[in-house]
Amino acid sequence: AEDRGDLDKALSFLEDAQRILHEGVQQMRFRQVPNWLISRVHFCRAKKFAAAKDTAKQLEFLDLAIDVTPDDADVLIALHQAS
């Protein structure tokens, strides 16, 4: 079983990175937030819901992740395991 504290820290870090990059996009410093980062945030949120045994929310975030990066092996495996 994964340590929820580690998952919470990873999700917080990724959300902060996404926010910072989004602000940079708004200020024209970057063209866009990288798809891999958006996907990874969704994936970590899905893992958090999986740990809470909320399969519907888990699948919702996995679907968001796969829409952004359809070739992400971690997301594909998680989708298969959750189905």
Structure tokens at 57: 């929310």
Alpha-carbon gap, residue 58 to 40, rounded angstroms: 13
pLDDT tens-digit readout, 7-18:
888 888 888 888
Report how far apart, in Å, the C-alpha atoms of 65 and of each of 26, 47, 62, 73 are.
Answer: 22, 12, 5, 11
35 closest CA partner among 76, 6, 62, 72? 72
pLDDT tens-digit readout, 21-59:
777 766 666 566 788 888 998 998 999 999 999 999 999
- Residue entry with tokens 């968001």: 64
